A and B are shown apart, each in its own frame.
Chain A
């Protein structure tokens, strides 16, 4: 195992190196605000008939009359203090809205990721161990088809099949049946909250709402994950050290699991960041299809209503999450591969 100190150093360095990227994101959202069509002050004015004087007043309040660099400094100051403005749609501060809705998005994303991983890894490994067998062909077909199905189509097809035709899925809107009792809010994750409260009825209600959108999203990332697992396992199994293991009489299980799989998982870990980012993007589509009350659908509604403060907040949030995810991936990789600590 690698020592803790180099790992912490690595994590710190990685965090530092992601700062420029984060700063870039902030600049981008700032510019986004400036180039967006329309004058923000006009939106914030009381109505379409607001007088020029009123608009000017709001402009002054928002600091839009100041030179751009000063606006940027104020913007950074606000972000530093957790002020992301107010949503016109809900009338709430954007931070509050995002905090309320984030657990819904995360619950969906993590469930889907877990589902995808628990299917993709075994499938990829089995396929790689028996190249050109029936299993292998089936997995390859699944991978090929999987990347071609847009999430919004597969989600709608799931609804058609399980809600309309079979009638076994609940009405595809929201996180929990409106008639079911809402568990007390602890973590914001309904599955965890209801389990903590011992309310298994609510747990079941939440789970049955979650399963279709989670499957939709899992299907979307299943293909790249399985494909990667298969490819890297295939490559590892033909490498020299596997031959060494065989030549020295290690058991098949040891060769495959300890020598093969552990090495094959390294590239899979590295693409986890990309996979997660794709999922955050796909969230927008899935949340729209299933009317899921997450951050993405919130941002989308705001975007379509030309309400830009939530969009800005959302983009910043996504970038922040993404940096965290990459950091985690990096630390995992550092734990798994002793070679990188030397660079």
Chain B
């Protein structure tokens, strides 16, 4: 195991960005947990006389059209945004990895039908699909999660399928059969653990994408509704004021969004380096 640790150490040393991204992601998670008890103002309390103030010492990120403190809103929104993305990714990962692995291993009819299903899913522009799903299921937060999970699903299925497929004829898989493992045992005990590291990369990259998707949906007015603090909806509300120069209403939540996505993406790239230095691109 020490060799693995050495390798991780080497990657972090030569690629400090990964470390910074890891710290960033960690601090985001802490903010999501502790945020509401840290912020200086109530994120939903309006204070009309103080409306549309530029950033100042009292209001670090300025105030919005109702005089609410943008900083408090941005911080408090972390929890909702991360929670949506994390639950969506978890859902699609769990379902996609298992289905994809079995498809990749057995091939045949199951593979064919799942492949068809994935094709149908992929025949939509995925963001449009998510919109339609939220519209169909109802304009609620949990439906944003389901919609995001469903549009992520094809990627996990395909990814797990491809990763398992290249391994299914390797010696150690056949050896596992000789050692008395059933097909299901081979998939669950041998193939899945081998595919998981590569999927960890996918999960991290996917988290960023899921955050973007969820924020995009609420930017359009789907899912989360005002006055709930959420980055996408805050940008949407601020959009009205951009042509009159109130940049902070867009820039602050937008920057928070970008920071979160950036952290998870960089973390994903770093994980990829840790797992396989040759895949470094």
Contact with B247, one of A25, A160, A278, A300 (Cβ below 8 angstroms):
A160
Q: Are A156 and B266 in contact (CB under 8 A)?
A: no
Q: Is the CB of A32 within 8 A of B136?
A: yes
Is A242 on the interface with B (CB-CB < 8 A)? no
Indicate if B226 sits at the interface (CB-CB under 8 A).
no
Interfacial chain B residues near A282, Cβ < 8 Å: 127
A149 B119 Cβ-Cβ under 8 A: no
Stretch at the interface among B57-65, B84-92, B185-193, B255-263: B255-263
CB <8 Å contact, A284 and B131 = yes
Cβ–Cβ contact B220 & A285, under 8 A: yes
**How near does chain B come to A98, taking the closest CB pair, in angstroms?**
14
Is B251 engaged at the interface, CB distance under 8 Å to the other chain?
yes
In Å, the complex CA distance between A150 and B250 comes to 12
A231 close to B (CB within 8 Å):
yes
The main secondary structure of chain A at its interface with chain B is helix
Give Cα A231–Cα B279 distance, bound, in whole angstroms: 9
A226 to B245, CA, bound (A): 33
Number of interface residues of A (CB under 8 A): 56
A322 touches B235 (CB 8 A): no
Query: Which residues on A sit within 8 Å (CB–CB) of B125?
Result: 277-278, 280-281, 318, 322
Q: Which of A14-22, A68-76, A190-198, A207-215 contacts B (4 or more CB under 8 A)?
A: A14-22
Closest residue on chain A to residue B254 by CB atoms? A153
**Nearest A-chain residue to B151, judged by Cβ:** A281
What's the nearest-Cβ distance from chain A to residue B190, in Å?
28
Report the count of interface residues on B (CB-CB < 8 A).
47
Is A156 touching B216 in the complex (CB atoms < 8 A)? no
Residue of A with least CB distance to B155: A274
Q: Assess the B132–A32 pair: CB atoms within 8 A.
A: yes
Q: Quick check: is B265 within 8 A (CB to CB) of the other chain?
A: yes
Is A333's beta carbon under 8 Å from chain B? no
Output the nearest chain A residue to B261 by Cβ-Cβ distance. A148
Residue in B135, B215, B235, B245 whose Cβ sees the most chain A Cβ within 10 Å: B135
For residue A36, CB closer than 8 A to chain B, the reply is yes
For chain B, residues 250 to 281, give those with C-beta under 8 angstroms from any C-beta of chain A.
250-251, 254, 257-258, 261-262, 265-266, 269, 281
Give 1 or 0 for each of A285-296: 1 = CB within 8 Å of chain B CB.
Answer: 100110000001
Q: Does A311 contact B (CB under 8 A)?
A: yes
Q: Are A284 and B123 in contact (CB under 8 A)?
A: no
Closest B residue to A297 by CB, please name it.
B220
Chain A residue contacts of B232, Cβ below 8 A: 150, 152
A218 part of interface (Cβ distance < 8 Å): no
Interface core residue of A36, A151, A156, A288 (most chain B CB under 10 Å): A156
Q: How far is the CB of A294 from chain B (nearest CB, A)?
A: 13
Contact of A147 among B123, B236, B265 (CB under 8 A): B265
Residues of A within 8 A of B266 (CB): 144
Instruction: Give Cα A60–Cα B136 distance, bound, in whole angstroms.
Output: 23
Residue B208 lies at the interface, judged by CB distance under 8 Å to chain A: yes
B119 interface neighbour in A21, A152, A231, A277, Cβ under 8 Å: A21
Chain B minimum-CB-distance residue to A17: B119
Across the interface, B124 reaches (CB within 8 A) one of A145, A304, A315, namely A315
Please measure, in the bound complex, the distance between the C-alpha atom of A164 and the C-alpha atom of B251, giving whole angstroms.
Answer: 14
Q: A153-B257, A164-B243, A281-B127 are in contact. Are A145 and B262 (CB under 8 A)?
A: yes
**Which chain B residues lie closer than 8 Å to A172 at the CB level?**
243
Q: Is the CB of B242 within 8 A of A156?
A: yes
Encoded as 1 (CB less than 8 Å from any A CB) or 0, chain B from 186 to 215 comes to 000000000000000000000010001001
Residue-wise interface mask of B (83-115) relative to A, using a CB-CB cutoff of 8 A (1 in contact, 0 not):
000000000000000000000000000000000
| Residue A175 is within 8 A (CB to CB) of chain B in the complex | no
Q: Please indicate which of the listed interface residues B128, B244, B245, B281 has the most CB atoms of chain A within 10 Å of its own CB.
A: B128
- The closest CB in chain A to the CB of B262 belongs to A148
| A13→B197 CA distance, assembly (Å) | 37
Given A20-B116, A153-B250, are A318 and B124 neighbors across the interface (CB < 8 Å)?
yes
A285→B126 contact, CB < 8 A: no
Determine whether the beta carbon of A25 is less than 8 Å from that of B242: no
Is B138 in the interface zone, CB < 8 Å from A? yes
Shortest CB-to-CB span from A191 to chain B, Å, is: 24
Contact between B221 and A304, CB atoms less than 8 A apart: yes
**B141 sits at the interface (CB 8 A):** no
Scoring B residues 218 to 245 as 1 if CB is less than 8 Å from chain A, else 0, what string do you get?
0111100000000010011011001111
Tell me the minimal C-beta distance from A322 to chain B in angstroms: 6
Query: How far apart are A170's CB and chain B's nearest CB, in angstroms?
Result: 12
Query: For the complex, is B38 an interface residue (Cβ under 8 Å from A)?
Result: no
Contact B258 A149 (CB under 8 A): yes
Residues of B within 8 A of A28 (CB): 120, 132
Residues of B within 8 A of A280 (CB): 125, 127-128
Q: Complex formed: what's the CA distance from A319 to B265 in Å?
A: 29
Q: A230-B281, A281-B125 are in contact. Are A311 and B132 (CB under 8 A)?
A: yes
A21-B220 CB under 8 A given contacts A159-B243, A164-B245, A231-B281 = no
Q: What are 10 A-B pairs at a CB distance below 8 A?
A: A32-B135, A144-B265, A147-B265, A148-B262, A150-B235, A153-B258, A160-B245, A277-B124, A280-B128, A285-B220
Assuming A32-B136, A148-B208, A157-B251, what are 8 further A-B pairs, CB within 8 angstroms? A24-B119, A25-B124, A148-B265, A149-B258, A150-B254, A153-B250, A164-B245, A282-B127
